[in-house]
Amino acid sequence: MKKLLTKRTATVVLGMTVSMSMLLSGCGAKNDGGTASGDKAAPAAAGKKYTFRLADTHPDNYPTVLGDKKFAEIVNQKSNGRIKIDVFPNSQLGEEKAVIEQVQLGAIEFTRVSTGPLAEFNKSYGVFSLPYIFDNEEHEWKFLEGDKGKELLDSLEASKLKGLAYYDSGARSFYAKKPLNSVDDLKGLKVRVIQNKINIELMEALGANASPMAYGEVFSALQTGVIDAAENNFPSYYTSNHYQVAKNIILDAHQRVPEVLMISKNQWDKLSDDDKKIIKDAAQESVKTEREEWTKFEKESEAKVKEGGATVVEVKDSKPWQDKVKPVIDKYREEYKDIFTAIDAARK
């Protein structure tokens, strides 16, 4: 375990050094020359050559990283090898919040991040941190693929980002060092949350204390007892090894927080229309791979954490959980009125 931590820390430091030097030299995308682009009729092979970077916090075999790689592969095919996207997994280019800032600047061109940290960059994205707004996966995806979901992707432009596609991330549940059998067991616990305002309010409603921190810091914070609990989906609970230091998970499924694949608006604006189409289409096509891998890995990681000694408690009745967090939803009902209307419509 120690080894894993050291490796992760090392890759983060290395990634930060790489990003810093890229920033200092003012070089984001490598433009490898080639013929001029921008001619709408030009075949894909005739545009500029690029080498881009895509940052992801998860390890190599994780569903989102497999989606990223599929995306890179399709872009490469469609552009006849002209556009190369190198995927950097494992937070090699930094933790999510820092990566989003780099993408805003154009120092990193692409990233796949959770919509959780995006809430601090674009207010509308806070809606995904509200609890129990989607009934299940089908409901969530009907909304994401509908007009409002697409509009939300486009709204990232105001934050110097360009949303390309959503990826699946299942549902998040709480896990702690001590046994969790009901919503009342969260009272007084220090719980790590993704850094955003709504998550903090959510913990207050549950009688817990929010500890916002970067994903890469959670393992040691749990191990050393700086925090008592955290929350995530099965794949993250497993691959981050949190299940080894917080062995009790209760499947309350309080949030469904989708992932987003995006490009720096700065870089997007420099692309020819043909290249924009290649990138947008490839991102959409890669969703199928990510979702298939997600379905498989969600089951696999549940089995792995159980094998590894985690106790998994089912929630038979969500009502006490939903009642407790209702004030948080009520507070934001007006602000997210349009989005809620679309979420309700997607239920039918």
Binding site for ligand GTR (CB under 6 A): 57, 96, 113-114, 116, 169, 194, 215, 232-233, 236, 259
| Least gap, CB of 80 to ligand GTR (angstroms) | 32
- Strands in 190-193's sheet, in edge-to-edge order, are 209-212, 190-193, 229-232, 172-176, 248-255, 311-314
**Contact 234/154 with Cβ under 8 angstroms?**
no
- The span from the CA of 298 to the CA of 232, in Å, is 12
| Least gap, CB of 296 to ligand GTR (angstroms) | 16
> How are beta strands 172-176 and 229-232 bridged, if at all?
antiparallel
Q: Is 108 helix (H, G, I), strand (E, B) or coil?
A: coil
The CA angle 129-132-136, to the nearest 5 degrees, is 110
CA distances from 74 to 18, 70, 154, 268, 271 (A): 26, 6, 22, 18, 17
| Least gap, CB of 288 to ligand GTR (angstroms) | 18
Per DSSP, 178 falls in state S
Per DSSP, 57 falls in state S
- The span from the CA of 171 to the CA of 112, in Å, is 18
| Least gap, CB of 116 to ligand GTR (angstroms) | 5
| Least gap, CB of 82 to ligand GTR (angstroms) | 29
Nearer to ligand GTR, 82 or 112 (CB): 112
| Least gap, CB of 91 to ligand GTR (angstroms) | 10
**Contact 293/63 with Cβ under 8 angstroms?**
yes
| Least gap, CB of 13 to ligand GTR (angstroms) | 19
Nearer to ligand GTR, 169 or 286 (CB): 169
Nearer to ligand GTR, 76 or 104 (CB): 104
Structure token pair of residue 291: 């979702």
Closest C-alpha to 139, from 113, 171, 164, 117? 171
- The span from the CA of 339 to the CA of 333, in Å, is 9
Nearer to ligand GTR, 194 or 315 (CB): 194
Residue type, 272: S
Nearer to ligand GTR, 113 or 315 (CB): 113
- The span from the CA of 288 to the CA of 291, in Å, is 5
Nearer to ligand GTR, 28 or 67 (CB): 67
Nearer to ligand GTR, 83 or 93 (CB): 93
Nearer to ligand GTR, 37 or 264 (CB): 264
| Least gap, CB of 167 to ligand GTR (angstroms) | 8
> How are beta strands 110-114 and 259-264 bridged, if at all?
antiparallel
| Least gap, CB of 257 to ligand GTR (angstroms) | 7
Nearer to ligand GTR, 57 or 264 (CB): 57
